Amino acid sequence: MLLAIDSSSLTASAALLRGEALIAESFQNNGLTHSRTLTPMIDALLRNAGVTPKEIRQVAVTNGPGSFTGLRIGAAAALGLCEALGIPCAGVSSLRAAAAAALPYTGQVTAVMDARRDQFYTASFVSDGAKLTRLCEDRATDRDGLFSELQNTPVCWTGDAARLCHEARGGFIPPAPHAAAFGAALCLLDGETRPAGDIVYLRLPQAERERLERMKNQECGGAGL
């Protein structure tokens, strides 16, 4: 039994698979923090599926890029559960997990997550309808650069910034996407994993960026005296 967890964006989700078959999935986007919703959601998912924690054999968790706080909450929950059960825990790309929402779409899939200040976390894939193949690594880029790069390419957008990109640039969005936790499970099954504790941020946390900006402004102000 495989449990997959995602808390990399504003939403939180969990999925339960037996082999490659999805047997239960839960999704929340109710404005509450992941610290309040994630563990109760996982408990309810297992209980409603009639599965005990001891039946879980491995866990997959999205560990970046994405929300700094959300990533830490998800990784801590997954690692704590695996430590208690003595089972392996794998980290997976949040963007690769989000891209799975496009299946069974065929063509280019571009996962986009809002990194604020007109910046995106993004990665592109080619879908054959059942499997995704990477076109580039996960990266941070600005809005104009991304749209210019994809100017003449038909794209299916996924991720928490999918609608924003669709409205600004056109393309497609999945009509009824799976939650990203199911995509995280597919990442593990496809063998695209990394250590769960090695969280991939791509950018400095906002608080750190603001601190560095204040320091820079202070230095500039001092230099002008």
| DSSP codes of every residue in 138-201 | -EEEEHHHHHHHTTTS-EEEESTTHHHHHHHH--B--SSPPPHHHHHHHHHHHT--EETT----
Options 1.10.10.60, 3.30.450.20, 3.30.420.40, 3.40.190.100; CATH of 2-95+178-207: 3.30.420.40
Residue pLDDT, tens place only, 29-53: 887 789 999 999 999 999 999 999 9
**Same CATH topology for 2-95+178-207 and 102-169?**
yes
- The domain spans of the chain are 2-95+178-207, 102-169
Q: In which band, very low, low, confident or very high, does the pLDDT at 190 lie, cut at 50, 70 and 90?
A: very high
Kindly report the number of other CB atoms within 10 A of residue 210's CB atom: 11
Tell how far CA 136 is from the center of its chain.
Answer: 16
Question: What average pLDDT does this structure show over 87-100?
Answer: 96
**DSSP secondary structure letter of residue 112:** E
Give the Cα separation of 3 and 94 in Å (integer): 16
Give the pLDDT of residue 210.
57
Give the Cα separation of 31 and 206 in Å (integer): 20
Give the Cα separation of 12 and 194 in Å (integer): 20
Average confidence score pLDDT of the chain: 90
Give the Cα separation of 65 and 121 in Å (integer): 7
Give the pLDDT of residue 101.
83
Report which of residues 156 and 213 the model is more confident about. 156
Give the pLDDT of residue 189.
94
CATH, domain range 102-169: 3.30.420.200
- Say if residue 224's pLDDT is above 70: no
- Give the range among 111-115, 152-156, 205-209 with minimum mean pLDDT: 205-209
pTM of the model: 0.88
Tokens of 54: 């001891």
Give the pLDDT of residue 117.
84
